[in-house]
């Protein structure tokens, strides 16, 4: 009689389990629980040139979080379902925290939640990856309920995040350390309910750090922290021995891109960083030295990401960059709730797209009139990134802009 083969599957996780949405729906709030006063006087106490140190990841080894682990005991079955469907769907967006009221955040959050009602399970999102600036204006814990927990109270999936500059900036006399509240909500050792949740059910996320790789079926998202300056974004020492930053993030990025190459990973590899390398936003500038760091890591690894996603500029923008025979979309989605920022004009006229910015860069599309988010679909060897404006309403499922990348050829394909 043959012996039964032992299963090689790991045992289901034990201990505290993550919780995401509330058990019952509730109306959108009409106001804030904690009034948000003007921050103008505190901005005067900020040193606009002072970078802040980057907290080290928790635990030994490379900071990698598997989606299955973030889902707790439900993780193995959820990941198996994604693999069986041969498709993963998820949301991305940044700059969500509103200081003037919950209405604009609710518009975007409600539309994202409506995506979970899709009759096809394979089309329902697996998570939201936040592109930074969760809470304004100084990442204070006391505002997390109004700007994070309450708007996403019905979002029934994990929310991962990289910090934006407002999540880490501090002012003279600030009693909180940089990223203090962000670390408590997103980089907890266990999925515990925090005081900032204000009685809501969502537990803290268990990211290994403020920079990390989220590993899921068909996708790896390498999240980086671009620090606290309004402009530019900074992810390394940039050769300055006196900088409070070292080169851990660029070393990590190079290693993760090299790992994707050595693993012969056939899914999509995305880089997420709050400050955009390129922008036509009227308020914020691009980050050329940060772009040079990103390029140096990709060159050293011999592997370029399939797309680069950012926030910071409070609008939607999409660029196509050509690197040799590779076409890489660079997208900004910084209009997910906080406020809208205009796109630059040329001779007092709106920019017509597409427009050739440089010999290797095309400005393809933008929206500075609406709030919105990204819906990302990876299936059939393609990466599809859709932009959905909130004003279309929760029932509308047609994106206003789409870019599709063939993962094998690294070329954009017709939608």
User: What tens digit of pLDDT does each residue of 113-126 get?
Assistant: 999 999 999 999 99
Identify whether 14 is part of a domain. Answer: no
Which residues, 6 or more positions from 46, have their beta carbon under 8 angstroms from its beta carbon? 169, 170, 171, 172
Got the DSSP string for 44-78? Answer: TTS-TT---PPPPPSSSS--EEEHHHHTGGGHHHH
Read off the CATH number of the domain in which 352 is found.
3.60.21.10
Identify whether 251 is part of a domain. Answer: yes
| DSSP symbol at 117 | G
Identify whether 130 is part of a domain. Answer: yes
The domain total for the chain is: 1
pTM of the shown model:
0.96
Q: What is the mean pLDDT of residues 207-224?
A: 98
Identify whether 113 is part of a domain. Answer: yes
Q: What is the mean pLDDT of residues 389-402?
A: 95
Got the DSSP string for 343-366? Answer: BPEETTEEPPSSEEEETTEEEEEE
User: What tens digit of pLDDT does each residue of 241-264 get?
Assistant: 999 999 999 999 999 999 999 999
Minimal CA–CA distance to 96: which of 47, 17, 162?
162
Q: Which residues pair with 350 in a beta bridge?
A: 345
Identify whether 394 is part of a domain. Answer: yes
Q: What is the pLDDT of residue 5?
A: 45
Domain that holds residue 143: 44-413
Identify whether 7 is part of a domain. Answer: no
Burial class (CB in 10 A: 0-12, 13-18, 19+), 294: buried
Strand pairing report for 307-310 and 316-323: unpaired
User: What tens digit of pLDDT does each residue of 161-209 get?
Assistant: 999 999 999 999 999 999 999 999 999 999 999 999 999 999 999 999 9
Identify whether 33 is part of a domain. Answer: no
Identify whether 269 is part of a domain. Answer: yes
**Is 300 in contact with 256 (CB distance < 8 Å)?**
no
Q: What is the pLDDT of residue 59?
A: 86
The region, left, alpha or beta by phi > 0 then psi within -120 to 50, assigned to residue 11 is beta
Q: How far is CA 264 from the centre of its chain?
A: 24
In angstroms, rounded to a whole number, what is the distance separating the alpha carbons of residues 352 and 345? 9
**Is 404 in contact with 415 (CB distance < 8 Å)?**
yes
């Amino acid at each position: 009689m043959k012996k039964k083969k032992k299963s090689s599957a790991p045992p289901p996780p034990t201990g505290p389990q993550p919780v995401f949405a509330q058990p019952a729906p509730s109306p959108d709030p009409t106001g804030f629980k904690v009034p948000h006063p003007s921050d103008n006087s505190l901005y005067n106490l900020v040193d606009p040139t002072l970078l802040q140190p980057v907290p080290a990841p928790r635990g030994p080894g490379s900071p990698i979080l598997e989606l299955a682990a973030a889902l707790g005991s439900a993780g193995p079955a959820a990941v198996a379902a994604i693999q069986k469907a041969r498709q993963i769907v998820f949301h991305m967006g940044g700059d969500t925290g509103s200081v003037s009221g919950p209405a604009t955040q609710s518009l975007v959050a409600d539309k994202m939640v409506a995506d979970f009602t899709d009759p096809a399970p394979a089309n329902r999102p697996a998570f939201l990856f936040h592109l930074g600036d969760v809470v304004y204006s100084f990442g204070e814990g006391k505002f997390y309920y109004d700007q994070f927990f309450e708007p996403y109270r019905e979002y029934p999936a994990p929310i991962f995040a990289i910090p934006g500059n407002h999540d880490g900036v501090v002012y003279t006399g600030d009693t909180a350390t940089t990223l203090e509240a962000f670390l408590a909500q997103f980089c907890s050792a266990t999925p515990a309910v925090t005081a900032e949740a204000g009685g809501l059910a969502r537990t803290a996320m268990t990211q290994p750090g403020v920079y990390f790789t989220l590993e899921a079926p068909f996708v790896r998202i390498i999240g980086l922290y671009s620090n606290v300056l309004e402009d530019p974004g900074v992810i390394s020492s940039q050769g300055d021995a006196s900088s409070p930053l070292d080169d851990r993030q660029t070393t990590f990025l190079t290693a993760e891109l090299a790992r994707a190459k050595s693993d012969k990973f056939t899914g999509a590899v995305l880089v997420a960083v709050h400050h955009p390398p390129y922008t036509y936003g009227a308020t914020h500038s691009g980050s050329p030295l940060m772009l040079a760091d990103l390029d140096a890591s990709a060159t050293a690894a011999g592997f370029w990401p399939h797309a680069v996603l950012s926030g910071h500029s409070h609008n939607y923008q999409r660029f196509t960059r050509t690197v040799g025979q590779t076409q890489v979309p660079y997208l900004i989605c910084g209009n997910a709730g906080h406020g809208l920022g205009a796109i630059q004009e040329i001779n007092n006229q709106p920019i017509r797209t597409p427009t050739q910015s440089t010999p290797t860069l095309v400005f393809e599309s933008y929206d500075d009139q609406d709030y919105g988010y990204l819906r990302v679909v990876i299936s059939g060897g393609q990466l599809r990134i859709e932009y959905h404006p909130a004003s279309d309403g929760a029932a509308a499922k047609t994106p206003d802009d789409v870019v599709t990348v063939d993962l094998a050829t690294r070329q954009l394909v017709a939608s």
